[in-house]
Structure 1
């Protein structure tokens, strides 16, 4: 068993195909097939089920994939520690990011400083909804991820705090109020954005024993803002996720009582994190985001 075989197995499982994995790795499809066949023969189990152009994991494949990713993560940490002894001239850092707050307002500033300090580290960024970043962390597909705090299952590091606000069409009657309660927002059609703090918004209403009238679900914040701007619904979003150029079609109002949101970085286990990951966290924690 080799690390190359495990890397190919992990990538085929992620991309659900031999051709896509071969293209990503820059090798032939036959080389991918041969590596996986050899791995299955050595382990004596079927890891993948082939279905024409796609593949799916077997039950034992699902179990061993987590082990494979853990081994690959430890191998990467070993390389990083060796690179650290050489001044971190080489290495890889995999980051998970969600929504405009992390992808637009936090990450660019951090990366600018990080690349200046560690130009030899290759950075991979995966973007998805907040719950997707959590899953990537648990599956060891990323080294570090931006998350909404608290997240007790991980080692976390707070970066910024902002507040949740109500977003209303400009001609909505509720704009006459200086602030709004969650209950005020339960009567009209509601749009929930899946890109950022959707889990937090859902928990807020659930904790208050309220049920918003969800009529729309948008995968991107821009779609959510457009839905509100067209007068089709209202919503609750994080203030720092809103674009700097204010759209005159909607207005924001603070919530009463105020609801704060913290965004930070998370790793599965700080003790097993690579030097490149720890350097990223240390640098991010020192920056000011005002």
Structure 2
């Protein structure tokens, strides 16, 4: 068994296909097929179920994929620790980011400082909903992720705190109030933004034993803002995710009682984090907690 076989296996599992994995890795499809056949023969189990248009993981394949990713992560840490001894001139960092708060507000500034001190580190950024970032961390598909805190299953590093606000169409009756309650937001059609802190929104309503009238679900915040500005629905979002130049299109009001949201970085295990990952954490903390 080789690390190359495990890397190919991980890519095939991620992309659900030999051709896509071959294209991503820059090798031939026959090389991918040969590596998977050799790995299965060595282990004596079927890792993949081949279909006409795709491949699926077997039950044991799902189990071994987590082990394979753990081994690949440790191997990458070894390489980066060796690179660190040489001045960390090379390496790879995989970052998970969600919504405008991390992708637009936090990440660009941190990356700018990081690249100045570590220009040789290749950075890969995966973007998805907050719950997706959590899953990527657990599966070791990323080295570090932006998350809404707290997250007790990870080692975390707080960066910023903002508040949750209600978004209302201009002219809405609630817009005249200084504050809005969760119950107030249950009387109108509701639009849920699934790219940002959707899990936090669900927890808030659930804890209050309330059910918003969800009429729309948007994968991006800008789509949510369009729905609200047209007067079709109300919403609940983090204030830090809102763009600075569109406030005239809607009205934002703080919640009563107030709800704070904390955003930070998370790693699966700080003790096993690579030097490139630790350096990114250091850059983020230095920028937001000078």
1:158 aligns with 2:158: yes
Matches within 5 A, 1:1-290: 1-288=1-288
The alpha-carbon deviation at position 289 of structure 1 amounts to: 8.5
The 3-state SS of whatever aligns with 2:204 is helix
Task: State the Cα deviation string for residues 150-180 of structure 1 (Å, max 9, x = none).
Answer: 0001000000000000000002111011110
Which aligned segments of 4 or more residues in structure 1 are displaced greater than 2 angstroms? Answer: none
Q: List runs of 5+ in structure 1 lacking aligned partners.
A: none
Separation (CA, whole Å) in 2 of partners of 1:24 and 1:103: 24
- Let me know the Cα RMSD of the aligned residues: 1.1
Structure 2 length as normaliser, TM-score?
0.98
Per-residue deviation, residues 15-46 of structure 1 (Å, max 9, x unmatched): 11111110011111000111111100100111
Structure 2 unaligned residues grouped into runs of 5+: none
- The CA distance in 1 between the partners of 2:231 and 2:124, in whole Å, is 38
State the TM-score, normalizing by the size of structure 1: 0.98
SS state at 1:195 partner: coil
Which digits, 9 at most, give the CA deviation of each residue in 1:224-257, with x for residues without a partner?
1111111110000000100111242211011111
Instruction: Return the alpha-carbon distance in structure 2 between the equivalents of residues 79 and 228 of structure 1.
Output: 49
Report the number of matched residues.
Answer: 290
How many angstroms apart in 1 are the aligned matches of 2:265 and 2:199? 17
